[in-house]
Amino acid sequence: INSCEISSQLIKIKFFNRLQFSMEPRPKWTRLLVWSTLGSTIGAGVPCGYCMGVINSPAAHMRAWCEATLLANYGLRLTPATLDTLWALIVSIFLIGGILGSACAGWAANRFGRRGCILLSACLLGVAATGFLSCRLLQSVELLLLSRLVVGFGAGLVSTTLPMYHSEIAALPQRGTLGVCCSVGFSIGIVVAQLCTLESLLGGEQQWHIALGFYLVFMAICFAPFRWYAESPKWLFIVRRRREEALHMLARLRGSDCGLQQEVLAMEQEAASKCRTRSLLEVLRDGKMLLPLLLLCAYQGGQQLSGCSSIFYYSVSIFLGSGLSPRTAEWLNLAAGNVNLLTSLMGPLLMAKFNRRTLMLLSSSCCGLLMFAFGWLVEYGVSIKLIPNFSWCCSLFVCLQRLIPWLSFGSTACVFLYLFFFQLALGPMPSFIGAELFEVPSRSVALSLGNQVGWGCNFLVGFLFPTVHALLGFWVFILFSIFSGLLYLLTKFYLPETRGREVSLVAQLVSRGFHSKVL
- pLDDT score, position 389: 45
Instruction: For CA atoms 207, 209, 214, 215, give the dihedral sign.
Output: positive
C-alpha closest to that of 286 among 511, 102, 503? 511
Q: What is the CA radius of gyration of the chain?
A: 24
CA separation for the pair 214, 198 (Å, rounded): 13
Neighbours of 88 (CB within 10 A): 13
C-alpha closest to that of 38 among 193, 166, 211? 166
- pLDDT score, position 321: 55
124 touches 154 (CB < 8 A): yes
132 touches 144 (CB < 8 A): yes
CA separation for the pair 101, 209 (Å, rounded): 24
25 touches 259 (CB < 8 A): yes
456 three-state secondary structure: helix
CA separation for the pair 464, 322 (Å, rounded): 26
- pLDDT score, position 396: 45
CA separation for the pair 211, 234 (Å, rounded): 38
C-alpha closest to that of 167 among 109, 225, 107, 221? 109
C-alpha closest to that of 104 among 153, 168, 163, 162? 153
DSSP 273-319: HS-S---HHHHHH-GGGHHHHHHHHHHHHHHIIIIIHHHHHHHHHHH
196 touches 217 (CB < 8 A): no
The number of helix segments (H) and strand segments (E) in the chain equals 25, 0
- pLDDT score, position 215: 92
CA separation for the pair 303, 487 (Å, rounded): 9
CA separation for the pair 360, 485 (Å, rounded): 11
Instruction: For CA atoms 292, 297, 298, 304, give the dihedral sign.
Output: positive
CA separation for the pair 406, 323 (Å, rounded): 12
271 touches 421 (CB < 8 A): no
Predicted model pTM: 0.78
CA separation for the pair 486, 496 (Å, rounded): 16
The per-residue pLDDT for range 226-282, each reduced to its tens digit, is 888 888 888 888 888 888 888 888 888 888 765 677 778 777 776 666 555 677 788
102 touches 431 (CB < 8 A): no
CA separation for the pair 199, 207 (Å, rounded): 9
CA separation for the pair 282, 353 (Å, rounded): 36
166 touches 179 (CB < 8 A): yes
- pLDDT score, position 168: 87
Regions of the chain where pLDDT drops below 70: 1-26, 257-259, 270-277, 310, 312-325, 378-408, 466, 473
29 three-state secondary structure: coil
Alpha carbon distances (Å) from 190 to 198, 322, 471:
13, 24, 30
- pLDDT score, position 127: 94
- pLDDT score, position 5: 52
Compute φ and ψ for 293, nearest 5 degrees: -65, -40
Helices (H), 1-140: 2-23, 31-40, 46-53, 59-74, 80-138
